[in-house]
């Protein structure tokens, strides 16, 4: 592989890492002022303007309190919400097979999820996005000694297929359920990014 090609791959991975980081942050917690600032000013804001201009605009208009209310209404409840857990969308309950199958990925990667996500709740979309961030951060493109060929990418593909190909219905309903343009933009950004990642990893398009 040429240096240029290697650099391009590294950039691709770094870019993916950055987007996983941004999206996991947006799915796991309500925005704080620092995040809103990041989305309005500086490199991230400038780059985001081209990909998700409505997110930049919404970040400038909304207050943290308004967004916290919308975050709660869409994903936390307490009623008529859309729990962003894979098990809920596949089996209707917390702690299904999807949560169980997250465990070996965590064990092998050394990833520690946020405290409230215990073993029955590891299949939160934000945790899954964050696991991908972590994995990309761990390997930075390097091939571990003794590993199977293309080990990091193999794992990425396996993980993505099992744990990031599911949320189409969640995303569609979240977009229509959101009160704020900020969260409509978050959902669209997530959907678009996952579609691109699916192609980058050589997987079929997400269903739906």
Partner 1 sequence: MPERPLNRRAWMKLGLAASGASALGLGGCEEESAPSGDASAAGDKSRANDLERWRAMKAEPYQVGDFGAMPGVCNLPGPEAKRNWPDPDKYRNVQRVPGMCQLCSTVCGIVGYVKDGRLIKIEGHPNDPNSRGHLCARGHAGLNHLYHPERLLYPLKRVGKRGEGKWKRISWDEALDEIAAKLRAVRESGRPEEFAFHQGRQRSKDILKRFLDAFGTKTQLSHRALCSGSRRAANLTYLWESDWDLNDVEHTKYILNFGSNAFEAHQGHVPFATRIQNGRFRNGAKLVTFDVRLSNTAGSSDEWFAPFPGTDGAIALGMAHAIVQAGRHDTEFLQQWTNVSIEELEEHLEPYTPEWAESVSGVPAADIARIALEFAAAAPACTTMCNRGSSAHINGYYNDRAIQLLNAIVGSVGKQGGWCWSPWSGLDPIVETPPMPPGAKTWSVLEDPPEFPLANVWRRMRVGEIIYLYLLQGRARLQAYMTYNLDSPLTWPEESLTQQVLCDESLIEFHVCINCFYNETAHYADIVLPWATYLERWDLDARGSYNLRPYVGVRKPMVEPLGEAKDVREFFPELAKRIGGGMEQWFQESVEEYMEQWASNVPVNPATGKGGLERLLEEGFWESDRQPYYEPYLRELSDDELSDSEVDPDSGVITKDGVGIGVMLQGKAVCGFATPSRKFEVRSLFVEKIGANADCSELIALSGVKASNRHANHQGHDVEIDAMPTWFQPVEHQRLADDELIMTSFKWNVHNHGRTMNLKWLAEIVHSNPAWLNPKTASAFGLQDGDWIEVTSYHSAEVEARNPHLTHGQAEPTSGRRVVASMRVPIVTMQGIHPRVIAMSNSCGHTQYTSVAQAKREAPAAEHLAGSNPSAYHDDDWRRNMWWEDPSGGDPARWRRNTGSGWNQNKLMPIAPDPVSGQQAFHDTVVTIKKVVPA
Residues 15-54 that bind partner 1 (CB under 8 A): 15-25, 28-30, 34-35, 38, 42-44, 46-48, 50-52
- In the bound state with partner 1, the residue whose beta carbon lies nearer, of 61 and 158, is 158
Closest to 170 in 3D by CA, of 27, 20, 4, 29: 27
* The two structure tokens encoding residue 38: 């990041």
Instruction: For CA atoms 172, 80, 129, 11, give the dihedral sign.
Output: positive
Would you state the structure tokens that stand for residue 201, as one six-digit string?
């990893």
Query: What is the C-alpha separation between 108 and 106, in angstroms, rounded?
Result: 6
Instruction: Kindly report the backbone phi and psi dihedral angles of residue 207, in degrees, each rounded to the nearest multiple of 5, phi listed first.
Output: -60, 155
Nearer to partner 1, 61 or 176 (CB): 176
Candidate list 9, 63, 114, 150; residue touching partner 1; CB under 8 A: 114
Contact map string, positions 120 to 139, toward partner 1, x by CB under 8 A? xx-------xx--xx--xx-
Q: Least distance to partner 1 from the beta carbon of 3, Å? A: 18
Distances (CA, A) of 151 to 79, 135, 146, 156: 42, 11, 10, 9
Q: Please report how close the Cβ of residue 201 comes to partner 1 at its closest, in angstroms.
A: 14
Q: Least distance in Å: CB of 111 to partner 1?
A: 6
- 85 Cβ contact partners less than 8 Å away, ≥ 6 residues apart: 94, 98, 99, 121, 123, 124, 125
In the complex, the smallest distance separating the C-beta of residue 42 from partner 1, rounded to whole angstroms, is: 8
* 18/60 with CB nearer partner 1: 18
Cα–Cα distance measured from residue 2 to residue 94, given in angstroms and rounded to the nearest whole number? 47
Beta bridge partners of 124: 85
**Alpha-carbon span 58 to 196, nearest angstrom:** 23
136 to 195, contacts with partner 1 by CB under 8 A?
137-138, 144, 146-147, 151, 155, 158, 161-163, 168-169, 172-173, 175, 188, 191-193, 195
62-101 residues in contact with partner 1 (CB under 8 A) are 65, 68-69, 71-73, 76-81, 83, 85, 88-101
Kindly give the interhelix angle for 53-61 and 33-40, rounded to the nearest 10 degrees: 130
Name the residue nearer to partner 1 (CB basis): 61 or 90.
90
Asked if residue 203 binds partner 1 (CB under 8 A), the reply is no
Considering only residues 57, 60, 109, 177, which one is a binding residue for partner 1 as defined by CB under 8 A?
109
């Amino acid at each position: 592989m040429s240096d240029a090609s290697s650099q391009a791959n590294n950039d691709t991975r770094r870019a993916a890492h950055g987007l996983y980081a941004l999206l996991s942050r947006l799915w796991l917690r309500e925005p704080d002022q620092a995040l809103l600032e990041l989305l309005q000013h500086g490199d991230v804001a400038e780059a985001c303007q081209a990909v998700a201009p409505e997110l930049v605009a919404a970040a400038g208009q909304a207050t943290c309190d308004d967004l916290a209310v919308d975050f709660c209404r869409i994903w936390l409840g307490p009623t008529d919400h859309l729990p962003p857990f894979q098990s809920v969308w596949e089996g209707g309950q917390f702690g299904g097979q999807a949560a169980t199958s997250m465990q070996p990925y965590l064990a092998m990667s050394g990833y520690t999820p946020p405290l409230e996500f215990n073993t029955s709740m590891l299949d939160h979309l934000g945790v899954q996005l964050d696991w991908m961030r972590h994995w990309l951060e761990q390997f930075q493109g390097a091939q571990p000694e003794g590993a199977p060929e293309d080990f990091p990418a193999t794992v990425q593909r396996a993980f993505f297929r099992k744990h990031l190909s599911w949320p189409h219905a969640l995303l569609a309903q979240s977009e229509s359920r959101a009160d704020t343009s900020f969260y409509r933009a978050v959902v669209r950004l997530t959907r678009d990014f996952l579609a691109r990642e699916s192609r980058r990893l050589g997987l079929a398009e997400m269903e739906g």
